Amino acid sequence: MRFDKLQSASKIPDIGTEAQPTIGARNKGRRLGVDAAAIAASVLAAVDVERAVELTQAVCRVPSVLGEELALAELLADTMRRSQFENVELQPVLPNRPNSIGEMHFGAGPRVVLTGHMDTKPESIGWTLAEPYSGALIDGRVYGHGIMDMKAALACQIVAMEAVRRSGLPLKGTLAMAAVSDHMGDQLGSIRYFEDHRADLCVLGELSDNQIFLGHRGRYYFDITAEGRSAHTCHKHQAVNANALAARAILELEESRLEPKLDSDTADLFGAETMIVPGRVYGGLPPGGPSMIPDECVIRVDCRPQPGVSVETVSNEIDRCLASAKALDDRFKARVELVDVKSPYLANPEAVVVQTMIEAVRQVRGREPELMAAGWLGDTASFGGDIPTVIFGPGGEPVYCANESLPVADIEEATKVYAVFSALALVANK
């Protein structure tokens, strides 16, 4: 997920009364109108769980830090070609940073896309149980940098598609795989894929601990430039140090507790507070340069809005914080720029894509799943407004730390859920 990848998952409470149905309660009354158990049995019998684990190990052995996705894209494309996927290609996105895509056709019908990102953050130091790119299998866990975010999901999705084809079920439609680049950049991989390919239903394999996530918070970046007056260090009292002015703003922003008006379901899923954090500060000349009191200091403010929280609402809160800084120091002056908007995402719990995933998890697990949401940012920020999408993937917090690993059981379960979802989606829409 993105630079902060802190998962904030909140269950929807089951209040146990039909008079006040929560989202979770509404799940229990609806089915897809197909023999889900028979479909699930057919496709589950075709799932090769050993292959899912082996392919997960293989992808973990290929580094794919942001900007270096090519080698993994090639491995995935080769895997899909050997498995006789159709229309396999390295879809151009950025120089040497393609998407890896392929599909299976079962005639006219809906187009179902399984997707996830290939890029990771840099590997952590301190590995002791295995090497970061070993893909080692130790005591029922596969070890590898980025296995949870989200290399395992990519492997599980490919093996699930193979199982769907092997099942022999009478399917109609297209099942597509889209392993995208640049998620941790500007999400250009997913943007490019969905510019060129339609989708009726989509599963994003972001890490959800194999729970159903309806959505995630968004991200608004604001740059606040505190403006002072420069001078040589020995002329301190003739200057207005922009860093000192920025410090006042930082403290006011840190104290922000914005709780905008939300509907009850959104508040239950995501929490009441819109997080506003002064995350990065750039002020003064770099070490080794000349002596100078800075006249500018830039604060990058990272805001994580819930669905329904507008840019204007957040901007007004930032203005309030800066007015408080001005009240403390009349010299305070700053300009504010909105530099990036990534939208929150929230699927309708009654949508076909969500109901299909609920049934898939129900068939694999044998019990009713819960609906949850995340605090991190997914690629659905860029395509979820146009493509009905549900989030489901193996792995959870902590992530991007030494000795990152995933239980084999989670890999097997995710593969089965993806397979059953895909089969139900194509059969249910015959």
Query: Domains (ranges, CATH) in the chain?
Result: 23-216+344-428 (3.40.630.10), 219-342 (3.30.70.360)
Predicted confidence (pLDDT) per residue in 329-369, tens digit: 999 999 999 999 999 999 999 999 999 999 999 999 999 99
Q: H or E stretch including 380? A: helix 380-383
Confidence of residue 289 (pLDDT cuts 50, 70, 90): confident
- Copy the structure tokens of residue 51: 């292959």
- Token pair 């998620």 is found at 183
CB neighbour list of residue 22: distance below 8 Å, 6 or more residues apart: 12, 13, 14, 15, 265, 268
pLDDT at 24: 41
- Whole-number CA gyration radius for the chain: 24
pLDDT at 365: 97
Report the predicted TM-score, pTM, of the whole model to 2 decimal places: 0.88
Q: What is the DSSP string of 192-239?
A: HHHHH---SEEEE----TT-EEEEE--EEEEEEEEE-B-B-GGGGGG-
Gap between the Cα atoms of 250 and 217, Å rounded: 23
Q: Which residues pair with 119 in a beta bridge?
A: none
Q: Which amino acid is at 33?
A: G
Instruction: Express as a percent the part of the chain with pLDDT over 70.
Output: 92
| Over residues 392-400, mean pLDDT | 91
Lowest mean pLDDT among 1-10, 138-147, 200-209, 243-252: 1-10
pLDDT at 399: 87
User: How far lies 149's CA from each of 202, 216, 319, 371, in Å?
Assistant: 18, 15, 35, 20
Predicted confidence (pLDDT) per residue in 79-88, tens digit: 999 999 999 9
| pLDDT of residue 240 exceeding 90 | yes
At 386, give phi and psi (nearest 5°). Answer: -110, -20
Buried (b) or exposed (e) across 371-385, using 16+ Cβ within 10 A? bbbbbbbbbbbbbbe
Confidence of residue 393 (pLDDT cuts 50, 70, 90): very high
Gap between the Cα atoms of 85 and 72, Å rounded: 17
User: How far lies 230's CA from each of 148, 284, 291, in Å?
Assistant: 47, 10, 11
Predicted confidence (pLDDT) per residue in 9-47, tens digit: 433 333 222 222 233 434 443 566 779 999 999 999 999
Q: Which amino acid is at 29?
A: G
Lowest mean pLDDT among 23-27, 47-51, 114-118, 217-221: 23-27
CA end-to-end span of the chain, whole Å?
35
State the average pLDDT for the chain: 92
| Over residues 366-392, mean pLDDT | 96
Gap between the Cα atoms of 343 and 380, Å rounded: 8
CB neighbour list of residue 44: distance below 8 Å, 6 or more residues apart: 163, 363, 364, 416, 419, 420
pLDDT at 178: 98
CB 353 within 8 A of CB 202: yes
